[in-house]
Chains A and B, each alone.
Chain A
Amino acid sequence: MTITDAPPRGATATGRIGDSPARPDGLLKAQGTFAFSSDVPIDGALWGATLRSPHPHARIVSIDVSAAWKVDGVAAVVTAEDVPGAATYGLIAQDQPVFAADVVRYVGEPVAAVAADHPETCRRALDAIAVTYEVLAPLLDAEVAIAGTHPPIHPDGNVLRHQRIVRGDPDARAPVVVEGTYDVGMQDQAFLGLEAAVAVPDPGARGVELHVATQWLHEDRRQIAACLGLPPDQVRLVLGGVGGAFGAREDISLQVHTCLLALRLGRPVRMAYSRAESFLGHVHRHPARIWMRHHATADGRIVKIEARFVLDGGAYASTSSAVLLNAITHTQGPYRCANAVVEGWAVRTNHLPCGAMRGFGVVQACFAHEGQMDRLAAACGLDPVEIRLRNAMRTGDTLITGQVVESVAPVARCITETAELPMPDEPIGGAAGAGVVLDPMRLPGGAGLTADVEHVRRGVGWGVAMKNLMYSEGFDDYSTARCRLADGVVTLKFATSEVGQGFVTIAQQIARTVLGVDRVVLEPIDTQIGSAGSTSASRQTWMSGGAVDAACRAARERLFEHVGRLHDIDPLRLVVEGDEVVDSLGHLRAPVVEASAGIEIDETVEFHHRPTEELDADGQGNCHTAFAFVAHRAVVDVDAELGLVKVVQVATAQDVGRALNPLHVLGQIEGGISQGLGLAVMEEIVQIDGVVRNASFTDYLLPTFLDMPVVVATLIEEPDPQAPLGAKGVGEPPCISVTPAIVAAIRDALAQFEGDRPVEVARVPVRPADLALPS
């Protein structure tokens, strides 16, 4: 029985670990009363807006804001010279200006901001600011950045990171050699809840409170405080409701601008990006070109991998160095490999800045290594499943970084259990035999009524992925949680960003399970407690879940000590069973509600994962914390003449460790598949000469109900002993190997057409022209 055969229902409000209770914010969201960061009720707030560069690379000759001040209703105009603290910010390197002062480095870079009484007034004030630019030659080719033939476009240079991995025998040879070059376009996270924030200044502008949608409150605060020239404790952040994130809220966007305007004016200011501005205002998935050459034995066992990665980081560093690390350390994918020579570059160009997006470098690597596995299968005369099973990684294997995989690694199970999932019973176009009416909505092109069933072929493709969990390379991304227990009610406090993934549900389930209570109150998510780290890297169930678990266990110890004193029992004999405190060696059974009556227990715990290391010059080191695995099988229908693709079904088996909330896991699986499908056949930010050409939902295509296939999913539950609850992160794996699986299925379908077809499809997103117009 798969999880999609009988999906769980979140009917109960008091579920424990393993149940699927309703999320605590669910009804508010369904009734429209949940306050997103665009909905925070602050009286008397002015509107803020941002002036952005129209050029990918230009020198700012002058900025004349005088006309903007004359627009009726304008209260403030600020530029770089009004930034009181650090002029630049960034997650890893502080190389990005709050406002461009001398040079603009991408189309959309902030140059000035205004505050006014109405969004329309803001727009007119921005129009009135006169910026004189001297246009400079943009650096738009990543290879040129590597070659060093273009002058530095930033004082920190044009190379963001160069890292090699050399493992084993670089001269190792094997009889079968396959190679290919793979390209990945720039994908947008496209969360629905646009960037929005409200800043409320303290009296006398001594500090500020910011209500904002973000993935990491404390890191935002660090950067904001530095730029405002305020001590961090004078900057208080409150999580405004977050309408999705997917990596795009890991870097700051409007945070400093909003606070700066509010502090200048001594009154609240809110900013809210439009969709077009959002495309410019946050980082994106790195476009990449990846070359790989696999050497294998005649029976398909990988001997050596050579690879070269080039990631276009755009104008500023963001997390490019970490994305590159992830990409190159996942060169081998979930397969054994003893010898490797890998070279990785992340470079600066005058394109949009790139950083975190779900999958974080592994999406790019996986598209390449899975393309290679299919080439290897063809060269060895094996089918796609067999080649993957022969090379499947196991716990205890050594990676090309020299790190031993200590995580549970059920790669072979992911593959075999995916293979056992049923194929779609529906033929092309939905027509099952004579007399059954064709449903054109189920053909490629759908309502366009363009595809003819006679010209459609069905293909099947595979993708398998490994994904690191938590932060890497020595970073201690700890998480903090506070648990209070009084009169049978647990109150939890943490700064963990709830972005839609459902940590608020999981936290309650953990507390109910550990402490045997039904009622768990969640305090506001803000900076009034220690950091929880970022909601990214599939890490919050492990890290913040671990912190909540540890805080609840600490509270339980205090409860046992209290009960032990009252009844003269060694606290070590006490356990929680159901909703009772039970003496495991005696007869005492006391409901937790009664046992905790009249006392107040208050425990705060920091949870740290085990330390990791930076890579050395040869790319060797225990750089990652843990790994998760997943397999995808895609079935697609292709009309090669029209270049149309319909994804019919995606089957998947995912290594989740332990499903704390199966319904939430299923939501992550289906949602991730949707985003991976988008990258495979729809989604790309198109930049021509450094100018974004499709910054709207009309021109940047997102999967709709009609594009999304049926998903058949099964969970591989082998609790990981290193995970605090046995549970691995589940957010990223679903979106990683589904993309190469869909592309492999397209190649499989194309191979069934007669004549010369360009079956060399090695770029995502796959565009109609790539299929219909052989080059």
Chain B
Amino acid sequence: MNGQEPSRHPEPGDRADNAGEERAGDRRIENVYRLHVNGAGHDVRDAWLGESLLYVLRERLGLLGTKGACEQGECGSCSVLLDGELVCACLVLAAGAVDRPIVTIEGLAEPGAPTDVQRAFVTAGAVQCGFCTPGLVMAAHTLLDRHPQPTATEIREELSGNICRCTGYGRIIAAVEQVVGERAATAAAGVDPSRSGP
């Protein structure tokens, strides 16, 4: 091991070259691939190719906002955008996401400068334990991009890939409806409410 371990939490943007001691089985794999996350390129070096995008985002790139809760695409906690599509990062092989734009919760807005959806989640009571929240925020943005004026059924259907165990969903629906109302109210003024500060 040469006394070196993969750093648990490198900063985003670090080259993950300290993973060179990775062992999986008895094979040592020499490789490097490049991921494009939140507008920046990241080289992933000498990683085991079996790693999911969820694992690489969290453990190699230090992007811990994406959560893992079921590892089989049922709960949506690990929702990210891949080529603009909402996907479960636990079901995507990281090495298969090379050269495709990836957006995580960290890429939506700077800390302290939340999107309208993030603000609404907080004020409407959509956040309890918060473990599902990053995935649901990603899903809610996608919903509102696809359906700026969603029906009640569309909200439930579009978000039904994301499980929340705390809230019973009522306040999450209220948060989405709050954003719909805010965007409609400010659209005439020519302001993009989704990017304005609190």
Which residues from chain B contact A190 at a C-beta distance below 8 Å? Answer: 165
Given contacts A120-B24, A708-B170, contact A194 B69 (CB under 8 A): yes
B35 at the interface (CB under 8 A from A): no
Cβ–Cβ contact A670 & B171, under 8 A: yes
Given contacts A36-B67, A72-B26, contact A663 B168 (CB under 8 A): no
Cβ–Cβ contact B26 & A192, under 8 A: no
B195 at the interface (CB under 8 A from A): no
Cβ–Cβ contact A29 & B64, under 8 A: no
Cβ–Cβ contact B123 & A246, under 8 A: no
B182 to chain A, nearest CB (A): 12
Cβ–Cβ contact B128 & A697, under 8 A: no
A711 at the interface (CB under 8 A from B): yes
Cβ–Cβ contact A29 & B5, under 8 A: no
Most buried by A among B50, B111, B131: B131
Chain A contacts with B in 112-135, Cβ cutoff 8 A: 117-121, 124
Cβ–Cβ contact B24 & A502, under 8 A: no
Cβ–Cβ contact B75 & A697, under 8 A: yes
Which chain A residue has the least Cβ–Cβ distance from B110? A31
Given contacts A31-B109, A33-B65, A441-B156, contact A10 B128 (CB under 8 A): no
Which chain B residue has the least Cβ–Cβ distance from A713? B170
B148 at the interface (CB under 8 A from A): no
Given contacts A26-B122, A30-B133, contact A44 B159 (CB under 8 A): no
A432 to chain B, nearest CB (A): 14
A69 at the interface (CB under 8 A from B): no
CA distance A189 to B165 in the complex (A): 9
B70-104 CB contact bits vs A (8 Å, 1 = yes)?
11101101000000000000000000000000001
Given contacts A667-B171, A705-B155, contact A192 B124 (CB under 8 A): no
Cβ–Cβ contact A41 & B171, under 8 A: no
Which residues from chain A contact B193 at a C-beta distance below 8 Å? Answer: none
A298 at the interface (CB under 8 A from B): no
Which residues from chain A contact B26 at a C-beta distance below 8 Å? Answer: 72
CA distance A447 to B154 in the complex (A): 12
Given contacts A9-B124, A30-B114, contact A118 B129 (CB under 8 A): no
CA distance A332 to B182 in the complex (A): 49
B106 at the interface (CB under 8 A from A): yes
Which residues from chain A contact B50 at a C-beta distance below 8 Å? Answer: 120
A9-42 CB contact bits vs B (8 Å, 1 = yes)?
1110000000010110111111111111011011
Segment with Cβ contacts to B, from A54-62, A457-465, A636-644, A671-679: A671-679
CA distance A82 to B155 in the complex (A): 53
B110 to chain A, nearest CB (A): 9
Cβ–Cβ contact B122 & A666, under 8 A: no
Cβ–Cβ contact B163 & A697, under 8 A: yes
Cβ–Cβ contact A23 & B127, under 8 A: yes
A191 at the interface (CB under 8 A from B): yes
A664 at the interface (CB under 8 A from B): yes
Cβ–Cβ contact B132 & A192, under 8 A: yes
A5 at the interface (CB under 8 A from B): no
CA distance A43 to B124 in the complex (A): 36
B13 at the interface (CB under 8 A from A): no
Cβ–Cβ contact A41 & B8, under 8 A: yes
Cβ–Cβ contact A191 & B129, under 8 A: yes
Which residues from chain B contact A651 at a C-beta distance below 8 Å? Answer: none
Cβ–Cβ contact A670 & B167, under 8 A: yes
CA distance A7 to B7 in the complex (A): 45
B1 at the interface (CB under 8 A from A): yes
Which residues from chain A contact B114 at a C-beta distance below 8 Å? Answer: 27, 30-31
Cβ–Cβ contact B163 & A43, under 8 A: no
Cβ–Cβ contact B129 & A7, under 8 A: no
B43 at the interface (CB under 8 A from A): no
Which residues from chain A contact B16 at a C-beta distance below 8 Å? Answer: none
Cβ–Cβ contact B21 & A667, under 8 A: no
A439 at the interface (CB under 8 A from B): yes
CA distance A246 to B167 in the complex (A): 12
CA distance A190 to B121 in the complex (A): 22
Which residues from chain B contact A25 at a C-beta distance below 8 Å? Answer: 127, 130
Cβ–Cβ contact A35 & B64, under 8 A: yes
B144-161 CB contact bits vs A (8 Å, 1 = yes)?
000000000101110111
Chain A contacts with B in 225-260, Cβ cutoff 8 A: 241-246
Which of the residues B22, B25, B157, B170 comes within 8 Å of A447, measured between beta carbons? B157
CA distance A36 to B133 in the complex (A): 12
B107 to chain A, nearest CB (A): 10
A270 at the interface (CB under 8 A from B): yes
Which chain B residue has the least Cβ–Cβ distance from A274? B71
Which residues from chain B contact A42 at a C-beta distance below 8 Å? Answer: 8-9
Chain A contacts with B in 139-195, Cβ cutoff 8 A: 189-194
Cβ–Cβ contact B74 & A697, under 8 A: yes
Cβ–Cβ contact B118 & A27, under 8 A: yes
A271 to chain B, nearest CB (A): 13
B174 at the interface (CB under 8 A from A): yes
Cβ–Cβ contact A670 & B170, under 8 A: yes
Which of the residues B129, B157, B169 comes within 8 Å of A674, measured between beta carbons? B169
A contacts, CB < 8 Å to B: 4, 7-11, 20, 22-23, 25-36, 38-39, 41-46, 72-73, 117-121, 124, 189-194, 241-246, 270, 274-275, 439, 441-442, 447, 499-502, 663-664, 666-667, 669-675, 696-698, 702-706, 708, 711
| Complex A-B: 18 CB contacts under 8 Å | A7-B124, A28-B130, A30-B130, A30-B137, A44-B8, A45-B5, A117-B21, A118-B22, A192-B69, A193-B69, A275-B69, A500-B166, A669-B168, A671-B166, A674-B169, A675-B168, A706-B157, A711-B168
List 13 additional A-B contacts (Cβ < 8 Å) besides A192-B165, A667-B125.
Answer: A7-B171, A26-B130, A33-B65, A42-B9, A117-B21, A191-B131, A192-B69, A243-B130, A666-B171, A696-B74, A697-B74, A705-B155, A708-B169
